[in-house]
Amino acid sequence: MKHLLMVFSLFFALTSAWGAGTVTHLAGTLSVKRSDGSVRLLSVKSQVLQGDTLQTEKDSYAQVKFTDGGIMTLKPNTQMVVKDYKYEPQKPAEDALSVGLLKGGLRAVTGLVGKRGDKDAYKMVTGTATIGIRGTIFDADDCKSSTCVKAGADPADKKEGDVLEAGVYVSVRDGEVSVTNPAGTINLAAGQFGFVAASTIAPAVLPGDPGLSAIPSTSLLETVTSGGRQGNQCE
Tally of structural domains, the chain: 1
pLDDT the model gives residue 69:
95
80: confidence class by pLDDT, cuts 50, 70, 90: very high
What is the predicted pLDDT for the residue at 223?
Answer: 43
- Length of the chain measured in residues: 235
**Rounded distance between C-alpha atoms, residue 77 and residue 107, angstroms:** 14
Range of the domain at 68: 2-234
What is the C-alpha separation between 122 and 134, in angstroms, rounded?
Answer: 9
Name 138's bridge partners: 108, 172
CATH code for position 215: 2.60.120.1440
pTM of the model: 0.82
DSSP letter at 163?
B
Q: Are 140 and 124 within 8 A, CB to CB?
A: yes
For residues 16-21, give the mean pLDDT: 70
- pLDDT at residue 229, rounded to an integer: 32
